[in-house]
A = this chain, B = another copy of it.
Amino acid sequence: MSSARRPATSRPTSRDVARDAGVSQATVSLVLGGKWRGRVSETTAGRVRDSVRELGYRPNLAARSLRLGDTRTALLVVPALTNEFFARVYTGAAAVAAEHDFGVVLYPSPDGTGPARDPFASSRTALDGVIASSMAADALGALRDAGLPLVMLDSDPGDAGAAAWVNLDIADGMRQVTEHLLGLGHRRFVHLASAVDTWTFTVRARAFHEALRAAPDATARTVTAALDVRAGTQAAEAVLAGPGPGPTAIVCDDDILAAGACKAVRRRGLRVPDDISVTGFDDLALATAVEPELTTVRLPAEQVGRHGMEALLAVLDGRPAAQGDLPVRLVPRGSTAAARS
């Protein structure tokens, strides 16, 4: 504790702490590493800790990583953080990471479809593993080639190359939506689908049409739109202006599209849900901000992130990763009602 100051420009190292405490650098490392029972006396350890505090020492993480060969850091690849779902996935993953003294660094792909070139070129930090969420199939290549343990979230389990998957039971969610609407007497549907070509939307479309087979007299038109409110409104307007009898229900791939569809319905002078029912998907904050509140499917986004990080940690430990789809739940709200006869 003899206050041997160094120039303020460079941070103190464990050697500075050692000098200050009058011990060797190895002793500092032992004390800080926590593995010093029976190796260092209590008094010496106390002196070391005092010096650490006094000098404001923080271990150089680059050096530690180099020495240990791991970085306790994972890369999370998501299409876009501005989508609330992915922000929540990150939050869950980061929470689990923090519990295990792990870090998370993000790579949001600029175009929202996945890393076109090399996700690692943009990541300046050394990594132990990768978690990728909702990637288009053609984006997998670069991730697989990195030679790092890979956990896929919300992606096609048929794609090879990942050590583990964490998925949502999207098909069941869309089934619940469809049965809900069929039960309300709806038969003429529009499916307002996302133009994004990822597993989750593929499954939503397939599950909708499968569930519809329960009602042989049901009909459905499909229209696609980009994932924003305006695009949803335009697509819905176009289909509502089309020929023939209009739909009594619009099933949307996403709450954002549903909000857009509601606006389109009202622009035609019709009312939600009295004239047309509208359903969303994801249960974003948006769903309860609009009026009427959206009937939608709640996705446990944080859980996806949590399970993803837990799976990666398991893989890194050589343990088997828990598998299985996470359940989702229909949340009936004000945007759906019995079909007009």
Contacts and interface: CB of A to CB of B under 8 A. Distances in A.
Contacts of A80: 91
Interface string A240-262: 00000000000000001001101
Secondary structure of the A contact surface, majority rule? mixed
A124 B288 contact: no
Contacts of A63: 62, 66
A340 interface: no
A94 B122 CA distance: 9
Listed residue (A65, A90, A98, A266) with the most chain B CB atoms within 10 angstroms of its CB = A65
A289 interface: yes
Contact of A101 (B56, B124, B147, B288): B124
Given A72-B124, A103-B105, A286-B289, 5 more contacts: A71-B124, A82-B88, A84-B84, A229-B285, A256-B289
Contacts of A124: 61, 71-73, 101-103
> Of residues A56, A60, A124, A146, which shows the largest number of chain B Cβ atoms within 10 Å of its Cβ?
A124
Number of copies: 2
Interface string A266-287: 1000000000000000000110
Contacts of A56: 145, 147
Interface of A: 11, 56, 58, 60-63, 65-66, 71-73, 80-82, 84, 87-88, 90-91, 94-95, 98, 101-106, 108, 110, 120, 122-126, 145-147, 228-230, 256, 259-260, 262-263, 266, 285-286, 288-291
Given A94-B108, A147-B11, A126 B62 contact: yes
6 contacts: A61-B126, A62-B126, A82-B84, A230-B288, A262-B291, A286-B289
A229 B289 contact: yes
Given A266-B291, A289-B286, A125 B228 contact: no
A337 to B, nearest CB: 18
B288 A61 contact: no
A4 to B, nearest CB: 17
Nearest to A72: B124
Nearest to A148: B11
A300 B104 CA distance: 27
A233 to B, nearest CB: 9
A312 B125 CA distance: 18
Given A103-B105, A105-B103, A291-B291, A125 B81 contact: no
